[in-house]
Amino acid sequence: MPTRASRRRGSTPGAIPRTPFAQARPRLVAAQCWYRRNVKQAVRFCVTPDGVRLAYAATGNGPPIVRVATWLTHLEFDSDSPVWRHWLDGLGHGRTLVRYDERGCGLSDREVGDPDVDTWVADLETVADAAELDRFALLGMSQGAAIALAYAAQHPDRVTHLILYGGWARGRQLRGPAGTREQQAIVSAIRAGWPNPNPTFRRLVSLLFLPGGTPEQMAWYDDLLWRSTTAETAARLFEARGRVNVVDLASQVRTKTLVIHARDDRAVPVEEGRLLAALIPGARLVLLDSPNHILLANEPAWPMLLAEVDAFLGTERPTAPSMVDQLSQRELEVLELVAAGLTNEAIADSLSLSVRTVERHLSNVYTKLGLGGKAARAAAAAAFAHAYDSHSLPRA
């Protein structure tokens, strides 16, 4: 199907442009720049109807899936993140993943204004138009789920599949006195300690989102928070999200919908996920065993989420042995020693690395191979042995 832009300029249907936008619509495009990090991505900029410049990026290849912006992201740092890297790898496999920093955060303009559902829906539409996408799958995570729902209700012709993870239809201020008190406590913590080098106040947010995180993951997420935006902007955005209500819009969604939620989610109670699924006609609800609002690469729930998303979108994921040749040279070296039966300490000594670096390489290996849980190490070693025995892989 031709895209909106291709009908005017003859561009490739559904493609993410790889050239400067000098000839694109002036309202939408301000500039282009490139960031080459661990995940290859092109960061570009578009301008909303009210004049705010938004940064967006595309990774992977295949049918497009757009991830609605959530509270506090940074396109430049996510690709190196022990918290977000596996999401980029997993969602970008066999697909083109388009994501963007919301107004006020990351590489986008820091002007926030007084955002509401209509503002955020218009921002999403601006990004989709700038990326020249007519039809695409839409992923709404956490606070982004409400905006994804609203967009799908208003644009049924553009959304092929709707995936809502860890989301809700009503903000904290609409969940009774307890929700209001929680909102006020978090906002107070943000304003009190956001820029402080001591992460104590920011750790409150990290513990809500990543209660099962490692010290490295917690420290990275603490750092991301203050790098993404200022204390005042973070507080204003959080307060605005607390007032969001798309309950009445949910019944208007006609797009095939998958709702996924962690049973013990500390940031968004599972009851909100159940309510979200009940409000959307025909939505399917999947519950995963995890306390984390942001699923981590090494927990069993992560490959289960990928399997559900792949089945929902009709994507086939290669088996672990066939993915071994996608590992970096250092990852292959680590994995070969794992297959030989060495401990992480012995691997670190053999390769002159720290144990933490070995653990990080293994986490990346598990993510790339689609493995998780206690059996991941043995499965990764077996995948290496299979690839070597089938002569598809030389020894590292």
Mean pLDDT within 373-392: 72
Q: Report CA 312 to chain centroid distance, whole Å.
A: 17
Residue 7 has pLDDT above 90, yes or no: no
End-to-end Cα spacing for the chain = 45
pLDDT category at 6 given cuts 50, 70, 90 is very low
pLDDT tens sequence across 95-153: 999 999 999 999 999 988 889 999 999 999 999 999 999 999 999 999 999 999 999 99
Residue 238 to residues 156, 172, 219, 243, 343, Cα–Cα distance (Å): 28, 10, 21, 9, 44
pLDDT category at 257 given cuts 50, 70, 90 is very high
CB 93 within 8 A of CB 60: yes
Q: Which range scores top for mean pLDDT: 57-71, 198-212, 270-284? A: 270-284
Q: Which range scores top for mean pLDDT: 6-10, 81-85, 195-199? A: 81-85
Residue 9's φ and ψ, nearest 5 degrees, are -120, -5
From the list 334, 336, 326, 394, the residue with the least C-alpha distance to 360 is 334
Alpha-carbon torsion angle 103, 101, 45, 85, nearest 10: 170
Residue 63 has pLDDT above 80, yes or no: yes
CB 136 within 8 A of CB 66: yes
- 61 vs 256, more confident: 256
- 308 vs 42, more confident: 308
- 341 vs 271, more confident: 271
CB 189 within 8 A of CB 209: no
pLDDT at 390: 55
pLDDT at 370: 74
Residue 316's φ and ψ, nearest 5 degrees, are -95, 130
pLDDT at 260: 98
Helix (H, G, I), strand (E, B) or coil at 53: strand
Residue 183 has pLDDT above 70, yes or no: yes
Percent of the chain with pLDDT over 70: 85
Helix (H, G, I), strand (E, B) or coil at 262: strand
pLDDT at 374: 65
Residue 272 has pLDDT above 90, yes or no: yes
pLDDT at 179: 92
From the list 74, 223, 241, the residue with the least C-alpha distance to 150 is 241
From the list 256, 21, 254, the residue with the least C-alpha distance to 132 is 21
Written as one letter, the residue type at 363 is: S
Give the Cα separation of 279 and 283 in Å (integer).
Answer: 8
Residue 18 has pLDDT above 50, yes or no: no
Beta bridge partners, 262, equal 288
Residue 215 to residues 193, 206, 222, 224, 302, Cα–Cα distance (Å): 20, 11, 10, 14, 19
pLDDT category at 324 given cuts 50, 70, 90 is confident
- 363 vs 148, more confident: 148
pLDDT at 15: 35
Residue 53 has pLDDT above 80, yes or no: yes
Mean pLDDT within 343-353: 94
Mean pLDDT within 158-170: 98
Residue 37 has pLDDT above 50, yes or no: no
pLDDT at 177: 95
CB 250 within 8 A of CB 277: no
pLDDT category at 325 given cuts 50, 70, 90 is confident
Percent of the chain with pLDDT over 90: 57
- 152 vs 340, more confident: 152
With 0-12 / 13-18 / 19 or more C-beta atoms within 10 angstroms meaning exposed / middle / buried, residue 254 is middle
pLDDT category at 322 given cuts 50, 70, 90 is low
Residue 5 has pLDDT above 90, yes or no: no
Domains and CATH numbers, the chain: 6-313 (3.40.50.1820), 320-389 (1.10.10.10)
Residue 17 has pLDDT above 60, yes or no: no
Mean pLDDT of the chain: 85
Give the Cα separation of 345 and 251 in Å (integer).
Answer: 55
Strands (E) located in the chain: 29-36, 40-47, 53-60, 64-67, 96-100, 136-141, 159-165, 257-262, 284-288
